[in-house]
Amino acid sequence: MTEIARTLVISDIHGCYQEFVELLELAEFDSRRDRLILLGDYVSRGPSSKEVVELVMSLVQEHGAIALQGNHDHRFVRVIENLASENEIEKFFKFGGFETLHSYGQHDMNAGPENLVEIRGYMERYSPHIQFLKGLPYYYEDDDYIYVHAGLNPRYRQLADQDVHDMLYIKEEFYMNQTNREKVVVFGHTLATDIHGVPEVWLGGDKIGIDGGCAFGYQLNGLALKMGKVSTSFAIRSKVGSIHS
């Protein structure tokens, strides 16, 4: 078995397919020597959610990538599987659901909650995508790092005690406090611009934030780790404008 030379981490692609492809090329990703970890939010906001999901599926199934679940992926699955609350449905359409459905061929951008029966029927043809997203884990751990979409609640020491909602949605309570963990936590979800004013990767000591805000008109970040330490970072400028607040 080939020894892993480098871990490459990317988060919050949000339908930015072209930027995702270009970032992998810029980082010279090679699955024979690199381990790729994706921190979730493949859908919503950007124009090409379907294409991103297809590429992520290929990277996982054919190239050994590790893909985690993000809050937008989780909400998308729940809406399509008729498990979502009214609040979740409202947020789905408010925060990128129209763009997601459009990428899957639902071109009536006036479609909304009143059309969910038809939307669910249409999406049955993409059941493999929904099942793939549904089955993604919420965190991954190696010898030096913990990888998670949003973060970890500092009140709980054991990973097994973490609430799924926190791993998908937590913000200030996580990044503004010490993690109290031996391993550094690598996360997305919260825009780097909201943490330190610029879209570049945030090195926060016991945590590293990598959401460059590609779907908000900033950039898609990639973090390279070697031998338990940060090696370098990569970025591709966004090709889309700000989509949602």
Q: Which residues contact 145 (CB under 8 A, 6 or more apart)?
A: 7, 183, 184, 185, 186, 225, 228
Task: Tell me the three-class secondary structure of 127-145, residue by residue.
Answer: HHHHHHHHCCCCEEECCCE
Q: Tell me the residue type at 49.
A: S
Bridge partners (DSSP) of residue 67 are 38
Supply 119's token pair.
Answer: 């939307």
Condensed to tens digits (0 to 9), the pLDDT of residues 20-70 reads: 999 999 999 999 999 999 999 999 999 999 999 999 999 999 999 999 999
Task: Determine the residue type at 200.
Answer: E
Q: What is the CATH number of domain 6-237?
A: 3.60.21.10
* 240 confidence band (pLDDT: 50, 70, 90): confident
Domain ranges of the chain: 6-237
Q: How many CB atoms lie within 10 A of CB 87?
A: 8
**Does residue 112 carry a pLDDT above 90?**
no
> How high is the pLDDT of residue 113?
82
Give the DSSP letter string of 185-229: EEE-SS-HHHHHSSSSPEE-SSEEE----GGGTSEEEEEEEETTE
Amino acid at 72: H
pLDDT at 110: 57
pLDDT beyond 90 at 8 = yes
Tell me: pLDDT of 129 over 70: yes
**Average pLDDT score over the chain:** 94
Look at 154 and 3; give whichever has higher pLDDT. 154
Q: Which amino acid is at 220?
A: L
Maximum Cα interatomic distance, the chain, rounded to a whole number of Å: 52
How far apart CA 203 and CA 59 sit, in angstroms, is: 27
pLDDT for 87 beyond 50: yes
Answer left, alpha or beta for residue 47, where phi above 0 means left and psi between -120 and 50 means alpha.
Answer: alpha
